[in-house]
Amino acid sequence: MDANSMKVTRNDGEWIWINGKTMPLADARIGVEDRGFLFADGVYEAMRLYRGRPFGVKEHLERLERSAAAIDLALPCCRDTMAQEIQRLADRSELTDGLVYLQITRGCSVRNHLFPDPSTVPPTLLFYTRPLAPLPAPGEGAGISLLSVPDERWKRCQIKTIALLPNVLAKNKAAAAGADEAVFVEDGHVNECSTSNLFAVVGKTLVTHPLTNKVLPGITRAIVLEIAASVGVGVQERPMREDEAKSADEVFITSSTRELVWVESWDGQRVGKGRCGDVTRRLHQAYVERVREEVLPHVAVA
Ligand SMILES: Cc1ncc(COP(=O)(O)O)c(C=O)c1O
CA–centroid distance, 160 to ligand 1, in Å, is 8
Q: Which of 5, 25, 26 is nearest to 16 (CA)?
A: 25
Q: What are 132-168's pLDDT values in tens digits?
A: 999 999 999 999 999 999 999 999 999 999 999 999 9
Whether the predicted pLDDT of 19 surpasses 60:
yes
Distance 253 CA to ligand 1 centre (A): 10
User: What percent of the chain lies above the pLDDT cut of 70?
Assistant: 94
Query: What's the pLDDT score for residue 296?
Result: 79
Report the residue among 61, 156, 197, 198 best suited for mutation to probe ligand 1: largest number of ligand atoms under 8 A from its CB.
Answer: 197
Nearest Cα neighbor of 183 from 144, 155, 213 is 144
Here the contacts of 193-196 (C-beta below 8 Å, separation 24 or greater) are 193/146, 193/253, 194/149, 194/167, 194/168, 194/170, 195/167, 195/171, 195/255, 196/253, 196/254, 196/255, 196/258, 196/261
Q: Which residues line ligand 1 (CB under 6 A)?
A: 46, 167, 192, 195-197, 216, 218-221, 254-256
5 alpha-carbon distance from chain centroid: 33
112 Cβ neighbours under 8 A, 6+ residues apart: none
Rounded (5°) CA angle 146-152-154: 125
For 185-222, write each residue's pLDDT tens digit.
999 999 999 999 999 999 999 999 999 999 999 999 99
Stretch 11-38: mean pLDDT = 96
Q: 297: pLDDT confidence band, cut at 50, 70 and 90?
A: low
Q: Is 246 in the active site? A: no
- If one residue of 154, 195, 253, 283 were mutated to test the ligand 1 pocket, choosing by the most ligand atoms within 8 A of its CB, it would be 195
Q: What is the pLDDT of residues 246-262, one digit of tens each?
A: 999 999 999 999 999 99
Residue 244: HSE in the Cβ half-sphere, 13 Å Cα cutoff: 19
Cβ(180)–Cβ(198) under 8 Å? no
C-alpha distance across the termini of the chain, in Å = 30
Q: Are 279 and 232 in contact (CB under 8 A)?
A: no
Q: How far apart are CA 271 and CA 268, in angstroms?
A: 9
Nearest to 232 by CA among 204, 270, 194, 260: 204
Q: Assess contact for 81 and 132: CB atoms under 8 A.
A: no
**Ligand 1: which atom is nearest the Cα of residue 63?**
10
The type of residue at 123 is P
Residue pair 42/103 in contact by the 8 Å Cβ criterion? yes
User: What CA–CA distance (Å, rounded) separates 44 from 182?
Assistant: 21
pLDDT digits (tens, 9 = 90+) for 80-103: 999 999 999 999 999 999 999 999
Give mean pLDDT, residues 209-237: 97
